[in-house]
Chains A and B, each alone.
Chain A
């Protein structure tokens, strides 16, 4: 990545950002669940492109591999299995008040982002300018993530894995239950 992002870089960065926002809007406005799920895949893909442009290659790859390639496929799988009937009868968008409330929450979030973007933080709260290349340069894309994960953040990492394991065991326990509760 060049020190000062060039025009080429900026154009693509904002292009992917706009595509992500447009896909997100399409995702919440589509009535058909399959179409909505596909727009969500598009959001994930554009976010992965943004991660890669910010030199977080590993996060970008995992974003596509895990979210777009596995989780959303399972989403689609479930939506198709449920066979939800005609899309016109399925709309989740509730009346006028629901729309107003949703719009209000959206505007509040937008205002929060704008305020956060203009606030100056104390230096200890700020992320270093280019955190991905903080470590030794020869570790590759995986090593830069793995090094802090298995040294500084080992406890959090292991606790998260136990949480995931508990979720898996719970899913199996529910799946194996034969009689109705």
Chain B
């Protein structure tokens, strides 16, 4: 055992997996590296959100702490650590402490399966740029992120505050509802890939030469929208909804525990962006090349693929912020009817269509390649057009109730006239 532990020179083939010792060291280094990048990313996301919102609203934003306000996240962190921790009376002490941790940990655990770069053909053997390419792939991510709701629900309940409780209840209903659309929107990806591991999804997109966003456009649209709902971001931030619920589930929290909820929100955004990039936008695959798909590659190529992945994730993080400062908040009944009455049936019908299409294309003897991807893209362009046409006719999303009919308007006018007569007869 010890003899083979650091037997570095004994592996001549850089395409075969590295021995245990190298694998262990590489995993520790990857963990430290990714965690650092991730936490710094979360800190600077808060700054990016404030700067981009300022840009969108034609303001300046925080620009005083350090050059261009770059030290603002550090100042915020110091402030949050120095502030007083409060514990409301009649709060459930244990759950009140547990809730912030429960909302933060799942976002971090999901990274275990997300591949963030091409495999490195090192002199000690192949080193995969993923912690654990589990056989259950994105099911693991769905399972783990579905636990994030406990943090919010327990925070709302344990605070013993009506606004917090309402926020927690809203969040649990919202996240359970949109989890279903999210899971169903991933079944077309599974049908096209034939496997649930995320590395297989990345490879399948490289084989088709077309991103899943194009070849499975409707699924991508549903997944991205559900991701906004799952991360409690505008236009679906009803668990917080400042104008109705103060700040919802974290009303009673202060200092670092409050901060942890914010860290959890941004951490969830980064995880969701990474999932969108991996499942629908090719993951770490470098566009327009195939040199990175032949197996393990040299170190500069690995770095390039990581950069590509980071750029994709950064774009979706920008999208999260962009949408937040562009769209108004949904009403609660609109949110629920969108999830249950629009996305669920659309996702189910889409599974049937895609399954039939894949079956037909495979039966026609077409190999997986550019033509296959383009046919899927063509069908999806039509389907997406139909979906947007259906969504945008002002019947489903914009008003929660259908326009009043002529008879209903007439009866409303009569009632109003009767009320006016009554009030005119009443003595003042």
Which of the candidate stretches A17-25, A61-69, A109-117 sits at the interface with the other chain?
A: A61-69
Chain B residues with Cβ below 8 Å from A58 are 136, 139
Chain A residues with Cβ below 8 Å from B175 are 73
Q: Mark A49-92, 1 if CB is under 8 A from B, else 0.
A: 00000000110111011001110011011001100000000000
Q: Which of A70, A77, A140 touches B135 (beta carbons < 8 Å)?
A: A140
Chain B residues with Cβ below 8 Å from A70 are 146, 176, 179
- Are the CB atoms of A80 and B190 closer together than 8 Å? no
- Are the CB atoms of B153 and A68 closer together than 8 Å? no
CB A37 to nearest CB in B, in angstroms, measures 10
Chain B residues with Cβ below 8 Å from A61 are 136, 139-140, 142-143
The count of chain B contact residues (Cβ–Cβ below 8 Å) is 34
Report the nearest A residue to B153, measured CB to CB: A76
- Tell me whether B172 is interfacial, beta carbon within 8 Å: yes
Report the nearest B residue to A83, measured CB to CB: B165
Main secondary structure of the interface of A (DSSP, over half): helix
Given A140-B196, A140-B197, A77:B173 Cβ within 8 A: yes
- Are the CB atoms of A141 and B165 closer together than 8 Å? no
Q: Which of A62, A65, A73, A140 touches B150 (beta carbons < 8 Å)?
A: A73
Report the nearest B residue to A76, measured CB to CB: B153
Main secondary structure of the interface of B (DSSP, over half): helix
- Are the CB atoms of A73 and B172 closer together than 8 Å? yes
- Tell me whether A26 is interfacial, beta carbon within 8 Å: no
- Are the CB atoms of B139 and A34 closer together than 8 Å? no
- Tell me whether B260 is interfacial, beta carbon within 8 Å: no
The count of chain A contact residues (Cβ–Cβ below 8 Å) is 24
- Tell me whether B95 is interfacial, beta carbon within 8 Å: yes
Chain A residues with Cβ below 8 Å from B143 are 61-62, 64-65, 68-69
CB B173 to nearest CB in A, in angstroms, measures 7
- Tell me whether B169 is interfacial, beta carbon within 8 Å: yes
Which of B135, B140, B194 gathers the greatest number of chain A CB atoms within 10 Å? B135
- Tell me whether B168 is interfacial, beta carbon within 8 Å: yes
- Are the CB atoms of B196 and A141 closer together than 8 Å? yes
Given A73-B153, A80-B165, A80-B169, A64:B136 Cβ within 8 A: no
Complex: A60 Cα to B143 Cα, angstroms: 9
CB A31 to nearest CB in B, in angstroms, measures 13
Chain A residues with Cβ below 8 Å from B172 are 73-74, 76-77
- Tell me whether A40 is interfacial, beta carbon within 8 Å: no
The 17 sampled A-B contact pairs (Cβ below 8 Å) are: A34-B92, A34-B95, A57-B134, A58-B136, A60-B136, A61-B140, A64-B143, A65-B142, A65-B143, A68-B143, A69-B147, A76-B153, A77-B169, A80-B168, A140-B135, A141-B137, A141-B139
A-B contact sample (17 more), CB < 8 A, given A65-B143, A80-B165: A35-B95, A60-B136, A61-B136, A61-B140, A61-B143, A65-B139, A65-B146, A69-B146, A70-B146, A73-B153, A73-B172, A76-B153, A77-B169, A140-B135, A140-B194, A142-B136, A142-B139
